Chains A and B, each alone.
Chain A
Amino acid sequence: MRNIGIWLIRIALLLLLAGLFFGHLASESYRITEPKSGVMGFLSLRPLHVSSAYLGIITAGLGFLTLIIQKKRTSRFGTFLQYLHFTLWIIALTGIFYSYFTGDFGGREYWEFNPVWALPIFISFIVFLVFYIHQIGFKVKWPVYYWMWLTGLVFFIFTFIENYLWISPYFREHFIADMTIQWKVNGSLVGAINQIIYGVAFYLMEKISGDEKSSYQKLSFAMYFLGIFNLMFNWGHHIYLLPTEKFIHYIAYAVSMTEWIILIRIFYKWSKQIKENKQFYYFFPYRFLMAADYWVTINLSLALFMSIPAINLFTHGTHITVAHAMGTTIGINTMIIIAAAFYFIKPTFNNSKWKQFGTITFWVVQGTLFFFLSSLIGMGIHRALWQAGLANESFNKMSSSSGNWVLLFIIFGTILFLSMGTFIVYLFVKSWKKNKFDFPY
């Protein structure tokens, strides 16, 4: 097992596939009226779905990082750290799934497993941080994506400690403060993971376009700092409704609005973007990066409106939030992961039939994702109107009357599961072919 990076990628692909599968099973709970028991019950399926997807994204991020940095320096210590990290990670994953399958819960939303398994995750991240710094060192001037990766690792570690502050009764005794911290964590953890994944995207773009200058430009750094500024201070937009300190809400509102800069910049560069899209369209890694770019535009627009408290008041607690979350994890994170997997695994497309099939499947994924998110927004609007008091009926009535949206949600979710699953399985199979990892650097 000399190439730990590719092993992490394989595990990540399996986790993402599991995430899709459990998500598919969980979605069916919306149509039933009787509870299911055991692992097939929603209260097990939702954690299985969310954790598989979340951990898959994290594992993929670490896997690509490993692939990129493992050859930079070979030393006994580096190899030791790599194996140590990998072992801890496997222990954590095994423990988490064991916990879920045996119904041993007790954690918080998205981290429902027995909190013991947080320990190997935490240590493994510290080991990885040491490995990262050991491999790249401080001798050369860092491109912006090195900074993004460092930020991701450091903030993950810091936030992960916060994620378990609830173990102390001091926090649990004060519900509002506890919830404030919980959502500080949820916001920042996603931000930290995004730094890692976006860093991978930046790296890929540099390699594909051959333009190394932009990785050192001041403007790239300005954008990176805008990103971490938001990671640190915008999470309050999740809790506008929570009666915590007003100050936190105002900071979140103001900071969230700085993201308009990103949106404006996207539109400013639009024509250049289209030109680039045409130039590299036939290259699979690029194609998925391109998709991620468009999903960024859509999700960011949605996020900007939802970050305005007066609008958030109505969208909060509805499936519009879910649409945003799924839009980011599937549309942005997973697209980047598939792009990077194509880039590193380098399937040769021995027959052109697959290439054609891949192109069709690619568009099926994008189209389905669009309709899938739309159906969630439909469900969300339905619930939002009810919450606003415009439909005077019980929760029970309200949820059964959104049956058509639910049906669409399940149908598109199933197609998404199958079409994205096709790419994931394909990449997984191809990852076993020999001599794939002679990188050009």
Chain B
Amino acid sequence: MLNLFAHPKHIFFVLFVCFIAFSVWIYTIPLFSPSQYSEKELHLVAEGRLVWQKYNCHTCHQLYGLGGYLGPDLTNVYSRSGNNEHYIRGIVKSGVKQMPAFEISEDEMKVLLLFLKNVDQSGTSNPQDYQPEILGTFSLEKK
């Protein structure tokens, strides 16, 4: 079995080809996942993502548990209660605890909110919505 490894060049090549194929498949995922958003809205969502980066929101906040730890996960903050746009606006403009008040323009705020709305609609990041399974995996609990 170990003799297989006497030719590192070949193994390296095979693995690398598999890796490239896997990567290319991942890049094409957007092509196969239709969105209910219009092209114009998607464009704004993409802008909102840049606002999220420009103000480093990720240093303290997570989306799907990915990002910083000082503040709460914001994946589903958009839908948490009724008048949420108002609430999010208020917090971003005035800050809370370690979060500074951001001087953010109205245009930026609009696309940021659209981005958060888009994130919210993509799924749930609350572990309690998921069900561990016997094989060590987990699935979204059907309600």
Number of B residues with CB within 8 Å of any CB on chain A: 66
Number of A-B residue pairs with CB-CB distance less than 8 Å in the complex they form? 190
The answer to whether B62 and A169 have CB atoms under 8 Å apart is no
Contact assessment for B29 and A225 in the assembled complex, using a CB-CB cutoff below 8 Å? no
Q: How far is the CA of A228 from the CA of B12 in the complex (A)?
A: 9
Q: State whether A313 and B54 are in contact (beta carbons under 8 Å apart), knowing that A219-B2, A239-B66 are contacts in the complex.
A: no
Per-position binary interface string of chain B over residues 36-50, scored 1 when its CB falls under 8 Å from any chain A CB and 0 otherwise: 000000110110011
A233 adjacent to chain B (CB < 8 Å): yes
A178: Cβ under 8 A from any B Cβ: yes
Q: Looking across the interface, which residue of chain A has its beta carbon closest to that of B126?
A: A387
- With A218-B6, A310-B138, A319-B69 known to touch, is A232 a contact of B29 (CB < 8 Å)? no
Q: Mark A380-403, 1 if CB is under 8 A from B, else 0.
A: 000100011100000110000000
What are 28 A-B contacts defined by CB distance under 8 Å? A29-B70, A35-B98, A35-B99, A43-B55, A46-B68, A47-B56, A105-B54, A105-B55, A109-B58, A147-B12, A165-B27, A166-B49, A169-B46, A170-B30, A172-B49, A173-B45, A176-B29, A177-B30, A179-B64, A179-B66, A232-B18, A241-B130, A309-B137, A309-B138, A316-B127, A317-B66, A388-B127, A396-B97
Q: Are B23 and A34 in contact (CB under 8 A)?
A: no
Q: A412 interface residue, CB < 8 Å from B?
A: no
**Which residues of A from 96 to 112 have beta carbons under 8 Å from B?**
105-109, 112
Instruction: Give the docked Cα–Cα distance between A250 and B135 (Å).
Output: 11
Interface residues of B in 71-114 (CB under 8 A from A): 71-73, 95, 97-101
Whether B5 lies near A173 (C-beta < 8 A) is no
Best-buried of A29, A35, A162, A172 by chain B (most CB within 10 Å): A172
CA distance A175 to B137 in the complex (A): 23
Residues A33 and B97 in contact in the complex (CB < 8 Å), given A147-B8, A225-B5, A253-B137: yes
Q: Cβ of B100 and Cβ of A43 under 8 Å apart? A: yes
A142-172 interface mask toward B, CB cutoff 8 Å, 1 = contact, 0 = none? 1000010001000000000010011001111
| Smallest Cβ-Cβ distance to B70: which chain A residue | A42
Q: Give the distance to chain B from A322, nearest Cβ to Cβ, in Å.
A: 7
Q: CB within 8 A of B65: which of A151, A219, A228, A241?
A: A241
* Given A173-B42, A182-B66; 7 other pairs, CB 8 A cutoff: A29-B70, A175-B45, A175-B119, A225-B5, A225-B12, A239-B64, A310-B137
Q: Complex Cα distance A47/B59, Å?
A: 8
Q: CB < 8 Å: which of A35, A177, A224, A317 contacts B62?
A: A317
Give the interface size class of chain A.
Answer: 35 or more
CB-nearest residue of chain A relative to B20? A158
Q: How far apart sit A99 and B33, CA to CA, in the bound complex (Å)?
A: 36
Contact present for A243 and B100 (CB under 8 Å): no
CA distance A221 to B119 in the complex (A): 43
> Which residues from chain A contact B5 at a C-beta distance below 8 Å?
218-219, 221-222, 225
Question: Max chain A CB contacts within 10 Å: which of B19, B50, B63, B71?
Answer: B19
Question: A166 to B48, alpha carbons, bound, how many Å?
Answer: 13
Q: In the complex, which residues of chain B have a beta carbon less than 8 angstroms from the beta carbon of A108?
A: 53, 58
Complex Cα distance, B74 from A395, in Å, reads 12
Q: Is the interface of A mostly helix, strand, loop or mixed?
A: helix
Residues of the B chain whose Cβ atoms lie less than 8 Å from the Cβ of A112? 53, 56, 59
What is the CA–CA distance of A395 and B63 in the complex, to the nearest angstrom? 15
B66 touches A183 (CB 8 A): yes
Please state if B46 and A172 are interface contacts (CB–CB under 8 Å): yes
Q: How far is the CB of B11 from chain A (nearest CB, A)?
A: 6
Q: How far is the CB of B118 from chain A (nearest CB, A)?
A: 6
Are A177 and B43 CB-contacts (below 8 A) given A32-B98, A35-B95, A147-B8?
A: no
* 7 A-B pairs with the lowest CB-CB distances in the bound complex, closest first: A317-B65, A172-B46, A310-B132, A35-B100, A174-B30, A243-B123, A221-B5
